[in-house]
Amino acid sequence: MAGRDDTPIGEPDDVAVTDVSKEVLEELSVLFGDTPPTAKETDSPLNSEDGSTTNVVPFATKDPSTRDISDPIPDNVIVIGDSDESDRTPAPSDPLLGSLARSGDDVVETIDDGGTVVIDADTMDRVVIVDDDRPDPTFEERQRRHKRRERLRRVKWVKLAGVVVAAIVVIAGVLASPLFAIRRVAFEGVVYTSKETVEKVTESIKGSSIFTVDTAQAREQLLDDPWVAEVRITTDFPGKALVEVAERVPVVWYVGEDQKARVVDDRGHVVAVLTGWPTKYLRVIGTGPALDAGAIADDVYRAAAQLVLALPDEIRTKVKALELTGGGELSMILKSGTIVRFGPPTNLQNKLVAVVVLFRRQDPATLAVVDVSTGDPTVQLR
């Protein structure tokens, strides 16, 4: 290669140095780190032809184990830096890298994920990377441990789920067992409710577990009966059920178009359809719609029932019947023959108050008609 000196390096050699000044010698000593030799330290003085004296300075022999920068670079070493081999000027040492060098070594090694970086301590301008891309011997072991932990975690959750399901099945089996079966069903408040409905509900409750009995279904079966207004079912350990029924209160009745009597409660519900005419309740004279039991009658029948419930005892005993005209006006007929006209079934409370005040001042037997449809009472004497 051009520019390479073929002279062997490392062989001992004597170099003649001409006599230089003291300042130059001190400067050289700083650069090379050694004290420049004096005339006394030379092996022998040489005299030049012009009479000047020349000193011979011996150079130290190089250690053969030290690699020279001109030596061939191995194949597994990558050189980073200038490729010009003629430039062999050593760079000043980096104090940060110098602290990483091992004592007595001529390289600084740093370990990275990509390999080993070797920095020549003699030539700090050259960075040598030694490819050491070997797999981590513990990687597969770590992977196996991680997979084993994941597998154990899944197995743990599967076992836990199995235990929970098994516990639920066992508890459900115990609760549904005949040990807690309902053996007695009691009813309260049942007067007009059909016997068929009572027997059906009893069969649905009796024999069921006290913890799993379907009380909601039994309640709906009872509410389907026209006479039942409200139901409450409670269970008592170890095997008893109590069914409390609130029945509707019949107040008035009317004749339908099919000539059958419809009994109506204070909310307008038709609680019964009878072929005969009842005597316990006040009749609303007139022909009404032929409704089935459980249906809701017109508002005028609901208003008539509420009017009857609001009557004071001093007047209730004197009432014979109510009457509903074709125009939807409501009247009350007393046993004495006196007719009290309420007009449209609105504001019945104030109208009834006016009638009560009038009857307390005057005997209703002396009155033929009392009209309170406008709010102010007007009377017709007999």
229 and 262, same domain (yes or no): no
Is the bond preceding residue 72 a cis peptide, omega within 30 degrees? Answer: no
Separation of alpha carbons 273 and 290, rounded Å: 9
Are 190 and 198 in contact by the 8 Å Cβ rule? The answer is yes
Q: What CATH number corresponds to the domain at position 303? A: 3.40.50
Same domain, 243 and 255: no
d(CA 337, CA 334): 5
CATH code at position 227: 3.10.20.310
Distances (CA, A) of 315 to 22, 126, 320: 150, 125, 10
Asked, for residue 289, whether it belongs to a domain, the answer is yes
Question: Does residue 295 fall inside a structural domain?
Answer: yes
Q: Is pLDDT larger for residue 4 or for residue 130?
A: 130
**pTM of this prediction exceeds 0.85:** no
Give the Cα separation of 165 and 101 in Å (integer): 66
Chain segment 337-364, per-residue pLDDT in tens: 999 999 998 999 999 999 999 999 999 9
pLDDT band at 138 (very low <50, low <70, confident <90, very high): confident
For residue 54, name the pLDDT band (cuts at 50, 70, 90). Answer: very low
186 located within any domain: yes
How many domains are there within the chain?
4
Question: Is residue 3 pLDDT above 50, yes or no?
Answer: no
Whether the pLDDT of residue 377 is over 60: the answer is: yes
112 pLDDT higher than 80: no
In a domain, 124, yes or no: no
Are 163 and 225 part of one and the same domain? no
Give the span between the Cα atoms of 208 and 181, in whole angstroms: 5
Q: How confident is the model at residue 171 (pLDDT cuts 50, 70, 90)?
A: confident
Does 248 have pLDDT greater than 90? yes
- Domain-embedded: residue 337: yes
Q: Is the pLDDT of residue 278 over 60?
A: yes
| pLDDT band, residue 66 (cuts 50/70/90) | low
The stretch 130-141 carries a mean pLDDT of 66
| One domain for residues 288 and 300 | yes
Query: What is the 8-class DSSP label of residue 62?
Result: P
Pairing status of strand 367-371 against strand 339-343: parallel
Would you say residue 21 lies in a domain? Answer: yes
What sign results for the dihedral spanned by CA atoms 295, 301, 306, 312? negative
**2: pLDDT confidence band, cut at 50, 70 and 90?**
very low
pLDDT score at 210: 85
Mean pLDDT, rounded, for 69-90: 52
* Chosen domain end from 213, 247, 281: 247
Is residue 275's pLDDT more than 60? yes
Strand partners, 108: 119
Q: How far apart are the first and last CA of the chain?
A: 154
User: How does strand 250-256 pair with strand 270-274?
Assistant: unpaired
The Cα angle at residue 155 between residues 150 and 159, in degrees rounded to 5: 150
For residues 273 and 242, membership in a common domain is answered with no
The enclosing H or E element of 222 equals: helix 215-223
Please give the single-letter amino acid code of residue 14.
Answer: D
Residues shown for the chain:
382
Does residue 44 surpass a pLDDT of 90? no
How does residue 143 score in pLDDT terms, banded at 50, 70 and 90?
A: confident
The token pair that represents 249 in the structure block: 């209160």
Asked whether residue 255 falls in the same domain as residue 300, the answer is yes
| Angstrom distance (rounded) from CA 205 to CA 241 | 8
Q: Please tell me whether residues 254 and 369 are part of one structural domain.
A: yes
What is the DSSP secondary structure assignment for residue 296, as one 8-state letter? B
Structural domain boundaries enclosing 22 = 14-58
For the chain, what is the largest distance between any 2 Cα atoms, rounded to a whole number of angstroms? Answer: 183
pLDDT at 212: 83
Residue 129 and residue 80 in contact, taking contact as beta carbons nearer than 8 Å: yes
Both 162 and 212 in a single domain?
no
Q: Give the residue with greater pLDDT, 44 vs 74.
A: 74
One domain, residues 186 and 212: yes
Poorest-confidence range of 87-96, 193-202, 257-266? 87-96
Question: Do 283 and 235 belong together in one domain?
Answer: no
pLDDT at residue 5 greater than cutoff 80:
no
275: in domain = yes
